[in-house]
Amino acid sequence: MTSTIDYRIFPGRAPEGTVTIPGDKSVTHRAFLLGALASGDTVIAGANRGDDCLRTAAALRALGVVIDDDGERFVVHGAAGRFAPAPRDIDMGNSGTGARLLSGLVAGQPFPTTLDGDASLRERPMGRVVRPLRLMGAVIDGRRDGSLLPLTIRGGDLRGIRYETKVASAQVKSAILLAGLFADGVTEVVEPALSRDHTEKMIVYLGGPLERTGDAVRVTGGASLKGAPIDVGGDPSSAAFLIVAGLIVPGGKVTVEGILDNPTRTAYLDVLEEMGGKITREAIAGDGPEPAMRVTAEESDLKAIDLGGDRIPALIDEIPVLAVAGSRAKGAFRVRDASELRVKESDRITATVRFLSAFGVDIREEEDGFVIGGNYRKGPFKGAKVSSGGDHRIAMAAVVAALAAKGKSVVSDVACVATSFPLFLPLLGRLGLEGAVTEKGR
């Protein structure tokens, strides 16, 4: 018999206090991968310890990289880009970022590697990564002509290419750049809009040959990286759930310490401020390629806006919780040009519409987004029972909505939050919010 973990929310108290969140997933993945490519040691403090990032560390160990963990810090003993064949298929669990970035790394190795994942990851598209890697010379086999896991990648003898992506994607860009570090000549990626730039910043920080001109970024193959200490700032995407709770729950005031301060990751803060959110930001010093900051959010009267176009790539992970904020705003809140949401851990457009509808929100699904009427802005949501569908961001967004509801709510299948934010529910408790976890068979 299998079981499901439910979370029962008892609203009534305002979220108030100061918390520190786990390290950023995106930066943690890249610290492991680029630390393994470097010579010397890379000491990683504040790494995200969710299952996704631990899968990347385990994958590198399977490739012969020595990674120590004392519970506080990871030490990646750099292999200078020379790895060993994995003894078996590498299981990336539900980590789309890990699988796609690792594809670029193993494409540079002169032996075959097979990457696999859980049932959900096996249905997520890999073709956008596979196509450029094949153009660089990698031989890749997999389901649907290499568009789905498991993938067997036979690398080595790569050549630099110039590749224009149709959709701005940090994962695709990063996979190409990682492979480009092993390729002959220059590898250039041109995006329609700037996506997350953690890979570029970390390559430069570790002494790599990288240049940017407008929307194009290029690396030169064969150069070496050198290990260095990296303090991983708090995950901005995780912080978004606590910040929105502070904005929409009556009497709320939440401070989150040590959030990664990167414009390609904090665009949702700009959106919330544009909506009238009372948000303050303060810089915090740290070691590594990117700074951190302290963010405070307090209850605000929000106004709806229209989100679309070039803004979407930098907001894609925060859209479910931004929809919760938009449901409390005056006017019609619209998200468009976000069809990428349909190929995440779930179809997040349909999932967002479904859980907000259950809370009584006037929301209409569209092909590339949704429209929220905003007619519940003057009163609380109604309590509801909703399911995450196994998607961590849907689970957390639904919990935030429940905090602003009248009466008890239940969000089922919340174990998935461990994928990115294992401390989410405990941190809500530290902010004074009441809830209970229950497990039941099914």
* CATH topology classification for 3-23+234-441: UDP-n-acetylglucosamine1-carboxyvinyl-transferase; Chain (3.65.10)
Same fold, 3-23+234-441 and 25-231: yes
Confidence of residue 442 (pLDDT cuts 50, 70, 90): very low
Confidence of residue 420 (pLDDT cuts 50, 70, 90): confident
Q: What is the mean pLDDT of residues 64-69?
A: 98
DSSP code of residue 308: -
Structure tokens at 436: 């209970």
pLDDT above 80: residue 431: yes
Q: What is the mean pLDDT of residues 120-143?
A: 96
- Non-local CB neighbours of 159 within 8 Å, separated by 6+ positions: 136, 137, 183, 184, 185
Greater model confidence, 20 or 379: 20
Question: What single-letter amino acid sits at 413?
Answer: D
pLDDT above 60: residue 377: no
Tens digits of residue pLDDT in 382-392: 999 999 999 99
Residue 317 among the catalytic residues: yes
Confidence of residue 2 (pLDDT cuts 50, 70, 90): very low
pLDDT, mean over the chain: 93
Q: What is the mean pLDDT of residues 259-276?
A: 96
Which residue, among 72, 24, 69, 70, has the nearest Cα to 48 in the 3D structure? 24
What string of H, E and C letters represents the secondary structure of 332-361?
Answer: CEEECCCHHHHHCCCCHHHHHHHHHHHCCC
Greater model confidence, 430 or 435: 430
pLDDT above 80: residue 374: no
Q: For position 330, what pLDDT does the model report?
A: 93
pLDDT above 70: residue 440: no
pLDDT above 70: residue 228: yes
Tens digits of residue pLDDT in 304-350: 999 999 899 889 999 999 999 999 999 999 999 999 999 898 999 99
Which residue, among 393, 265, 417, 359, has the nearest Cα to 11 in the 3D structure? 359
Structure tokens at 68: 């120590």
Q: Determine what percent of the chain falls in helix, strand and coil, rounding each to the nearest 5.
A: 35, 30, 40
Question: What single-letter amino acid sits at 325?
Answer: A
pLDDT above 80: residue 12: no
What is the C-alpha to C-alpha distance for residues 442 and 440, in angstroms, rounded to an integer? 7
Q: For position 310, what pLDDT does the model report?
A: 87
pLDDT above 60: residue 378: no
Q: For position 286, what pLDDT does the model report?
A: 75
Q: What is the mean pLDDT of residues 159-179?
A: 95
pLDDT above 80: residue 120: yes
* CATH topology classification for 25-231: UDP-n-acetylglucosamine1-carboxyvinyl-transferase; Chain (3.65.10)
Q: For position 418, what pLDDT does the model report?
A: 86
Q: What is the mean pLDDT of residues 123-142?
A: 97
Domains of the chain, by residue range, sit at 3-23+234-441, 25-231
- Non-local CB neighbours of 175 within 8 Å, separated by 6+ positions: 100, 101, 103, 104, 107, 129, 132, 133
What string of H, E and C letters represents the secondary structure of 249-307?
Answer: CCCCEEEEEEEECCCCCCHHHHHHHHCCCEEEEEEECCCCCCCEEEEEEECCCCECCEE
- The catalytic residue among 91, 197, 261, 317 is 317
Q: For position 1, what pLDDT does the model report?
A: 37
Q: For position 437, what pLDDT does the model report?
A: 83
Q: For position 167, what pLDDT does the model report?
A: 85
Which residue, among 234, 227, 238, has the nearest Cα to 202 in the 3D structure? 227
Confidence of residue 217 (pLDDT cuts 50, 70, 90): very high
